[in-house]
């Protein structure tokens, strides 16, 4: 049974790095809610027992970070279409002792771009997605759902891009969206294919460019002057890709908003208020 003091948290292993407690505690204070949001370290072998403990302790739900985003699905009574298609649950709502699995990364990705560029329309666009990991699946699902007409995926390991394209083929066909795969070496070469030159939106979903990782080599001159460039890496906030795009006069979207916006539906489900993302929160999270 849940009491009036609302408990939520994030489970992971490790989990200390998570910015989610700071984010949700900010909104708990802002909305004067009686509640708490904790980081809970859950080793893989203890997942089932520790989740049962959260249920017994009356938790309203929890976020999930690595390495539990797939394994938690086995414990869920219900998984929504988005989480099923993306293949990962990052938010669980607990009701009557049952777990309801959701994926809010898709919402976070789309909402971030919409908030930064309210005039940007996804309908009919050509998107070029760099990367084919977990985050790419959420981005590609979001782009299909939002009405993209053509999505080109390119990844260092081409087989993973082929796998994603195959797994989203039916969904894309239902939405009249064409999926194709481009060799990683051709990602910014106008000669090798029409993809870069026709791109309305370029999204980096690789970990390249992140602090401590190798940099991403991408020639933004391959893109048309109308293109928007989005990097979901947010540390640093302005990656070399975004700095190059900005220097060329292209519109850009940083990655921090995806992290902030993806947390909103979870907070709303547990605490009953849809919170806002503002500059104060963004600065707080970036400084943490
Ligand atoms: N803003 C947000 O809210 C948000 C949300 C989720 C993720 N992210 C960020 O997105 C990034 C990817 O996350 P993920 O969960 O998708 O990770 P992931 O599943 O491990 O995928 C990593 C991706 O990066 C590529 N990559 C790694 N090293 C590379 C290299 N040296 N050269 C070329 N490609 C390389 C991988 O290519 P291969 O397949 O060839 O290995 C793969 O496509 C991370 O930086 C993460 O912090 C941000």
Using one digit for the tens of pLDDT, what is the confidence trace for 70-99?
999 999 999 999 999 999 999 999 999 999
Domain boundaries, the chain: 6-103+263-287, 107-258
Is the pLDDT at 192 greater than 50? The verdict is no
pLDDT at 1: 45
Residue having the nearest C-alpha atom to atom 30 of ligand 1: 208
At residue 117's C-alpha, the angle toward residues 86 and 63, to 5°, is 35
pLDDT tens by residue, 100-109:
999 999 999 9
Q: 155 CA distance to ligand 1 centroid (A)? A: 10
pLDDT digit string, tens, across residues 199-226 = 999 999 999 999 999 999 999 999 999 9
Q: How many CB atoms lie within 10 A of CB 215?
A: 11
Q: How far is the CA of 123 from the centre of ligand 1 (A)?
A: 26
- pLDDT tens per residue across span 1-44: 445 899 999 999 999 999 999 999 999 999 999 999 999 999 99
CATH class belonging to 107-258: alpha beta
Q: Do domains 6-103+263-287 and 107-258 have the same CATH topology?
A: yes
- Domain 6-103+263-287 grouped into CATH 3.40.50.10860: yes
Q: Give me the pLDDT at residue 3, please.
A: 53
**Dist. CA 210 → ligand 1 center (Å):** 9
State the Cα–Cα distance between residues 182 and 196, nearest whole angstrom: 10
- The protein residue with its alpha carbon nearest to ligand 1, atom 13, reads 135
Question: Is residue 272 predicted with pLDDT exceeding 50?
Answer: yes
Query: What pLDDT shows up at residue 190?
Result: 59
Atom 17 in ligand 1: which residue has the minimum CA distance?
133
Instruction: Read off the pLDDT of each residue in 154-165 and give the average, rounded to a whole number.
Output: 98
Catalytic positions, please? 69
Contact 252, 232 (CB under 8 A): no
Structure tokens at 45: 């072998």
Taking the C-alpha atoms of residue 150 and residue 238, their distance in angstroms, rounded to an integer, is 27
- Ligand 1, CB cutoff 6 Å, lining residues: 105, 108, 131-136, 155-157, 160, 205-208, 210, 214, 232-234, 255, 258-259, 262
pTM: 0.96
Q: Ligand 1 center to residue 36 CA distance, Å?
A: 31
The per-residue pLDDT for 4 is 87
Closest CA to 62 of 38, 41, 79, 46: 38
Pocket test for ligand 1, best of 182, 206, 277 (most atoms within 8 A of CB): 206
Q: Could you tell me which of 237, 216, 267 has the C-alpha nearest to residue 27? A: 267
Question: How far from chain centre, in Å, is Cα 177?
Answer: 21
């Amino acid at each position: 049974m849940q009491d009036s003091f609302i408990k939520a948290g994030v489970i992971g292993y490790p989990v200390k790095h998570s910015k989610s407690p700071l984010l949700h505690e900010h909104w708990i204070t802002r909305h004067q809610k009686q509640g708490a949001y904790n980081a809970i370290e859950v080793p893989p072998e203890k997942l089932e027992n520790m989740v049962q403990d959260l249920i017994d302790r009356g938790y309203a739900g929890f976020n999930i970070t690595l390495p539990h985003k797939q394994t938690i699905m086995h414990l869920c009574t219900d998984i929504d279409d988005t989480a099923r298609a993306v293949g990962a649950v990052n938010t669980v709502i607990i009701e009557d002792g049952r777990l309801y699995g959701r994926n809010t990364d898709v919402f976070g990705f789309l909402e971030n771009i919409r908030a930064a560029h309210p005039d940007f329309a996804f309908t009919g666009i050509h998107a070029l997605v760099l990367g084919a990991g977990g985050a790419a699946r959420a981005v590609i699902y979001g782009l299909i759902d939002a009405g993209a007409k053509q999505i080109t995926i390119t990844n260092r390991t081409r087989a993973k891009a082929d796998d994603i394209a195959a797994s989203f083929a039916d969904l894309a066909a239902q939405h009249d969206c064409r999926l194709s795969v481009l060799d990683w070496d051709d990602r910014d070469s106008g000669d090798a294919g029409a993809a870069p030159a026709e791109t309305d939106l370029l999204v980096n979903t690789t970990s390249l460019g992140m602090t401590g990782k190798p940099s991403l080599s991408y020639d933004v001159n391959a893109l048309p002057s109308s293109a928007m460039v989005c990097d979901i890496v947010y540390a640093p906030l302005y990656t070399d890709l975004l700095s190059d795009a900005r220097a060329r006069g292209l519109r850009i979207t940083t990655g921090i908003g995806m992290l902030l916006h993806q947390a909103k539906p979870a907070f709303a489900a547990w605490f009953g208020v849809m919170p806002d993302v503002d500059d104060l929160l963004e600065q707080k999270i970036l400084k943490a």
